[in-house]
Chains A and B, each alone.
Chain A
Amino acid sequence: MRKLLIVVLLFPFAGFAQDVELPFDERGKFIYYEVVSQKEVKAEVLMERAAKFFNSSKELKLQTSPQDSLWMARGKMVINKTAFVLSRPSGEVWYHLYADFKEGKYRFWLTDFSFISYHRDRYGNFVPETTVAIPLENKPGKLNAGEWTAYSKATAREAKLFAERFKKGMSESAINPPTAKAVPTVDTKNQKW
């Protein structure tokens, strides 16, 4: 029983402890990189699925022509400061998404992350403090190092979540969504009771 209690109490911290920053690429930029195999799916089909994903995604703006072999999009993710069930946005991270397609597989990577801090405006809404985004690799001085590392780790977390969404969008099930299940009803008139 005591062991169970320890597990329950440590559960909320376990997720936090797993937070790590993204690795660097050869340019010294943070990167989230993944190669996904989808055997027997043609490159054309993969590109169609990607186009559908980009069209339905408000936070992404495709910056290359869909005919190009390497796609590039500009995206934005909002970083939240969270404590228990409470949360508030602390800033937004802009990034580039690259996607490359071949027969039976595709790869994508998120990089060029840059951060814009939020502040509360006169109406109590969180809005960008400036229009100048600071590359996430630029470490500030000691005074703000802790907060910056938290932004960096939150970016890694959001990048992972985005990757899951993107992979789901690229999977076959997303193209042919299952029809909605009928809502079960209870017949109250013809029942004996």
Chain B
Amino acid sequence: MKLKSILTTASLSVASFSYAQEAAPLQISGSVDTYYKYDFAKVPNIGTSFANDQNSISLGMIDLALKKTTGKASFVGELSFGPRGQYGSLLNGDGTDENSFHIQNLYASYAFTDKFTMTAGYMGTFIGYEVIAPTGNFNYSTSYLFTNGPFQNAGIKGAYAFTDKVSLMVGLFNDWNVYKDLNGVSHIGAQLTVSPVAGWTAYLNVLSGKSAGAVGTGTVLDLTTSYQVTEKVKLGLNAADYSVTNDGGGYSGAALYLQNAFTSAFSLGLRGEYFNWKGVAEESDKHVAAVTLSGNVKAGGLTFIPEVRFDNGSSSEMFKKKNLNPSKNASQFALAVVYAF
């Protein structure tokens, strides 16, 4: 009897496998990450997103993504669980509990033609160089530009490819990082993508609108570009300006990325960043400069990221010394392990 049931199960499995081969299969992918960070002042100092726990082997998140394409229609659903998703990103849907899983992407799209696609839902932001998933970044700790910019945008957008080298996206979006908008669909955004030569892509981005409760209309202008100079050398640049009308503050900054692959398994990457917070009303601006050196050691799907980082601020209020006195400087070491599947 037991043998019969095993055979039945095996036959059904083979049958379902054969069926599945006829349609585009369901894609499942994701990543897992964990890290150790040690701040040389022995207190958590550098306040960018993620990797904040001091002298602790801490968890990042498990990220799970599903994608399915049927003909011209497709959907993506991506969820993350763990501290990076729970506390480092968004609130729960009702905004009452900070301990939540986090939706990274949840959208459906339809390719009307080879050149024109419409997408609606909740999507990773089109602004900026770095992303939430650690597999998408060379450095493990994130830039100030990433931390202060949008993470995700819910909305509806249309993208049209004029040629292989030029495309344009225009969309209507909710406020930054919210599953639902309390003041209506309030933002308009656009992205012009240009790929002048092989290996070089530049994105010119704009996102503008008045968020619920904001004193004015906020507008982000963003340039994100990367160039694969040689087989081993890659350059990246992110420059952005965010301004809120009625003296509502904002930020501006630029980050330069230089990466060199010494072997197929080992690369080094340097990020230099200058970031300025615009003062709200009568407040004065303050700025910070940061240098981050990261290694990437790859073994199959696994990447080890040893990293050192030095930040220097304009104000002694920004960081702390060992004795908790204010400091203009901060430095840290981190070792992260990221597995992509």
Interface residues of A (CB under 8 A from B): 1-2, 4-5, 8-9, 11-12, 80, 82, 84-89, 119-126, 130-132, 134, 140-141, 143-144, 146-147
Contact = CB atoms under 8 A, between A and B. Distances in A.
B265 A124 contact: no
A140 B297 CA distance: 13
Contact of A5 (B7, B25, B65, B300): B7
A133 to B, nearest CB: 9
Contacts of A146: 300
B161 to A, nearest CB: 14
Nearest to B16: A85
A6 to B, nearest CB: 11
Closest 4 CB pairs of A and B: A122-B124, A85-B20, A140-B264, A124-B76
Interface stretch (B45-53, B85-93, B128-136, B275-283): B128-136
B3 A1 contact: yes
A130 B264 contact: no
Given A124-B105, A132-B228, A132-B231, A86 B263 contact: no
Contacts of A2: 3
A143 B136 contact: no
B265 A120 contact: no
Interface stretch (B26-34, B170-178, B248-256, B328-336): B26-34
A134 B232 CA distance: 11
Interface in B266-297: 297
A85 B21 CA distance: 8
Contacts of B337: none
Contacts of B76: 123-125
Contacts of A9: 10
Contact of A124 (B20, B78, B231, B297): B78
Contact of A144 (B104, B133, B265): B265
B17 A84 contact: yes
B29 A85 contact: no
B1 interface: no
Contact of A123 (B3, B123, B234, B299): B123
Contact of B228 (A5, A11, A121, A130): A130
B182 interface: no
A99 to B, nearest CB: 25
Interface in B284-341: 297-301, 340
Contacts of B230: 132
5 contacts: A119-B135, A119-B136, A122-B123, A123-B124, A143-B298
Contacts of B297: 143
Contacts of B65: 120, 124
B26 to A, nearest CB: 6
Contacts of A87: 25-27
Interface residues of B, number: 46
B28 A144 contact: no
A178 B120 CA distance: 42
Contact of B136 (A11, A82, A120): A120
Interface string B12-42: 0110110010000111110000000000000
Given A123-B76, A124-B78, A140-B264, A88 B105 contact: no
A5 B27 contact: no
B198 A131 contact: yes
B70 interface: no
Nearest to B299: A143
A86 B25 contact: yes
B67 interface: yes
A121 B17 contact: no
B265 A140 contact: yes
B125 interface: yes
B56 interface: no
Contacts of A5: 3, 6-7
Given A120-B65, A143-B297, 14 more contacts: A8-B7, A8-B10, A85-B26, A86-B26, A89-B27, A119-B340, A122-B125, A125-B76, A130-B228, A131-B199, A132-B228, A143-B265, A144-B300, A147-B300
A127 B300 CA distance: 18
B246 interface: no
Contacts of A88: 27-29
Nearest to B136: A122
Nearest to B106: A124
Contacts of B27: 86-89, 126
Q: A80, A89, A123, A130 — which one has the most chain B CB atoms within 10 A of its CB?
A: A123
